[in-house]
Every structure is written in structure tokens, then in C-alpha cells.
Amino acid sequence: MGNSMIRVVFNQKGGVGKSSISTNLAAISASKKKRTLVVDLDPQCNTSHYLLGERVNDTEGDIKDFFEQTLSFQVRPKEITDFIHSTSYENLDLLPSNPELGDLHAKLEAKHKIYKLRDALLNLEQYDAIYIDTPPAFNFYTLSALCTADSCLIPFDCDEFSRQALYSLMYNIQETQEDHNERLQIEGIVVNQFQPRANASKNIVETLKDDDLPVLEAKISSSVKMKESHNECKPLIYFAPKHKLTQEFVALYNELNG
């Protein structure tokens, strides 16, 4: 069994910053000399593009290939390491996604392949930390990630609809914990795109706290720097290490890792 900490970043709503949060926390982990793996389960491939740039189109082997081989008999199935690629950053590896991941969904679900990712990742000895980015839906891939993880981070974008959706999301996580993975903990809600001067933002966060939801102290502001970092395919700790946004991610990383 590996001894890496496995975190999944999940929200059923799109556009809340899952890829930004998982990639930037992983990059900070790698910059601290921790051997870190990012697993991209989202067919939109934002995380894969963020870390590999144009190289993403030339990579041989990805998460789709990993799942595909579980659907048929293989005399010598490939190890999960055969689908993992190094990035330009020291200590940071990626298991990239594929836009065609959605095409396999029904087959994988029908054949109950829900623990394949868990079994593969738990056997990896070489990583100190693994971050899993998920699609914006509670589906086979998300469930595979939640079955695998030690903890779940929930990005939240200070929106009233998002607040109402949090309760069903947390129920889904709790149900997964009871049915599939007793190790799984909700590590906290990451307030993203926070505007400290906007009363609406502050009020929604206060409401979450009043409801006893596990809101993390470190908050991530809205900043154009995030888009620039995506455009350059460079996580913030390498792109703008001194920037306020980067420091917010470092504060989040430190809060999570004590």
C-alpha cells in the first residue's frame, strides 16, 4: 500500500475552480520537494492542459487508456505508471485526461469498475501526495475518485445557488463514505473567487459558518492572475510566486497540511 495523502477536489457545479485549486495545491506541494501526482478525471482536460500545455496532444497514454484496459481481458495489463507523465516541474507528475472519457462512462458503470482507480493508486509507493480533479457531476468518475481518496475539498464560489447545492453534495459524499470508503473525510470548503469588500460574499460565507459547515480560513480571491497563469500553462507558484493570489494558495496549502 502507498502512504501518500490522496485528496479529491469535487463540486457538482462547473466553473467553481476545481482545476485551479487542485493544480495549484499540487504545484505548491511539488515546490516543497514532495513527490506529487495530479490525476485529471475531467473530460474537459483543463488540468492536463494547465500542466502540459500543447504537449497534452502528444502524450501517449492517459486516464481513458487506463480505464479502457479494465474493460477487456489483458494477458499483461499495463501498470498505472505507464499512463503517468512527468511535467516541466520537478516532483510533479500528471495522469492526463481525455476528451473521450465520457464515451466509456456507461460501459464502466455497467461492469462495476468503481474500485479500479483506487486499487491502482493505493499501490503507488513513489508519491507523497496525490490530487484528483473531477468532472462537474456526481458520476462514475467522481465516485471512483471519492472511493480512492482520504479527503475531499469542496470549492465554493460565493453564489447562493451554489450554497443551496452544497447540502446535496455533502450528502452524496457522506453516502459514499458509508457505502464505499470509510476513510473518506470532508476536509473543508474552499471559498474561491472571494471578494472581501462585497457584502454578498461575506454574508454567504457567514451563513455557511452558521450552518456549521467546515469552511476553511484561507480564501482565494478573484484575480486576473489566475487566467494569465492558465494561459501560460504555468501554476502560480512558478508563474508569480510573490503575487497575493499565490500567497493565498500557499496559506490554503499550509492550513491543509498543518
Cα–Cα dist 220/242, whole Å: 15
Task: Classify 107 as helix, strand or coil.
Answer: helix
- Checking if the pLDDT of 219 tops 90, the result is yes
Going by DSSP bridges, is the β-strand pair 92-95/85-86 parallel, antiparallel, or unpaired?
antiparallel
pLDDT bin (cut points 50, 70, 90) of residue 74 is confident
Cα–Cα dist 191/169, whole Å: 15
Confidence (pLDDT) at 36:
98
- Checking if the pLDDT of 1 tops 70, the result is no
Give per-residue pLDDT as tens, 154-210. Answer: 999 988 888 888 989 999 999 999 999 999 999 999 999 988 888 888 899 999 999
Instruction: Kindly state the average pLDDT of the residues 97-106.
Output: 94
| E-assigned strand segments in 127-199 | 129-133, 151-156, 185-191
Confidence (pLDDT) at 14:
86
Confidence (pLDDT) at 73:
86
Give per-residue pLDDT as tens, 85-96. Answer: 999 999 999 999
5-256 CATH pick, 3.40.50.720, 3.40.50.300, 3.40.1260.10, 3.50.7.10: 3.40.50.300
Alpha helix (H) residue ranges in the chain: 18-31, 46-52, 63-69, 101-110, 116-122, 140-148, 160-179, 199-210, 224-231, 236-239, 244-256
pLDDT bin (cut points 50, 70, 90) of residue 6 is very high
Of 41-45, 83-87, 108-112, the poorest mean pLDDT is in 108-112
Confidence (pLDDT) at 2:
56
Residue 19 φ then ψ, to 5°: -65, -45
